[in-house]
Amino acid sequence: MLRVQVMYPNEPGKKFDMDYYLNKHMPMVTDTLGNLGLVRTEVDKGMGSMGDSPAPFVAIGYMYFEDMETLQKCMAKGQDMMADLPNFTDIQPQVQISEIIQE
Amino acid sequence: MLRVQVMYPNEPGKKFDMDYYLNKHMPMVTDTLGNLGLVRTEVDKGMGSMGDSPAPFVAIGYMYFEDMETLQKCMAKGQDMMADLPNFTDIQPQVQISEIIQE
């Protein structure tokens, strides 16, 4: 199983509209990619780190895919979803594609 | 549910012994925290990012906890596990504590 994380760094002075993200953006992701093989999504809200340090990421969106072929088909639609970013944040996300090798 | 990610940045010239991590370090985590309320663990291996960019993280370890009280009890044991890091990597991990708010 492949896990894609879209990670929004916790940068001072930046905005992140969690309400829009949960109720508009993520449903758009599911609507767009659901028929193409997206297995499921999750959303994390950053709470903290070690000690009193702030969370490195204010929010992380997860997308799960069965294989690389399906993922690449979905990535081709990535532009549509990236175009929605200014509607809820001015943070430039980092994208991590991983294989889940132990669970 | 709370998700803790221990994220190892993908830095040139650094080492990460995945075999030790999977077969020695993560079992130590489970042995140490299993009785204290750790729900489960997962391990991701970084594969890539958008386009041809390298994965931001070479590996990510996940720990799941029911609530903050349990997590804090487990974090108090964190030093033991951090002491094992030099046995498999010279990367300084980032730690993200999140609440899973949509799944």
Query: Do A77 and A34 form a contact (C-beta atoms < 8 A)?
Result: no
**CB–CB of B101 and A22 under 8 A?**
yes
Bridge partner list, A16: A89
Which residues in chain B have Cβ-Cβ distances shorter than 8 Å to A100?
A: 42-44
The pLDDT tens digits along chain B (103 residues) read: 999 999 999 999 999 999 999 999 999 999 999 999 999 999 999 999 988 899 999 999 999 999 999 999 999 888 889 999 999 999 999 999 999 999 9
Alpha carbon distances (Å) from A53 to A49, A57, B36 = 5, 12, 23
User: Which of B56, B60, B98 is facing A94, going by the closest CB pair?
Assistant: B56
Start-to-end C-alpha separation, chain A: 10
User: pTM score, two decimals?
Assistant: 0.96
Which residues in chain B have Cβ-Cβ distances shorter than 8 Å to A45?
A: 98-99, 101
List the structure tokens of B83: 């002491």
pLDDT digits (tens, 9 = 90+) for A24-77: 999 999 999 999 999 999 999 999 998 889 999 999 999 999 999 999 999 988
Supply the DSSP symbol for A80. Answer: H
Query: To the nearest whole angstrom, how far is the Cα of B36 from the nearest Cα of chain A?
Result: 18
Strands (E) across B19-82 are located at 40-48, 57-65
Query: Do B16 and B60 form a contact (C-beta atoms < 8 A)?
Result: no
Query: Do A98 and B60 form a contact (C-beta atoms < 8 A)?
Result: yes
**CB–CB of A57 and B100 under 8 A?**
no
- Chain A residues at the B interface, defined by Cβ less than 8 Å, are 2-3, 7, 18, 22, 26, 40-50, 53, 55-57, 60, 75, 78, 94-103
Could you give the ipTM of this predicted complex? 0.95
Burial B42-59 (b: 16+ CB within 10 A, else e): bbbbbbbbeeeeebbbbb
Which residues in chain B have Cβ-Cβ distances shorter than 8 Å to A47?
A: 2, 97-99
Alpha carbon distance B15, B91 (integer Å): 7
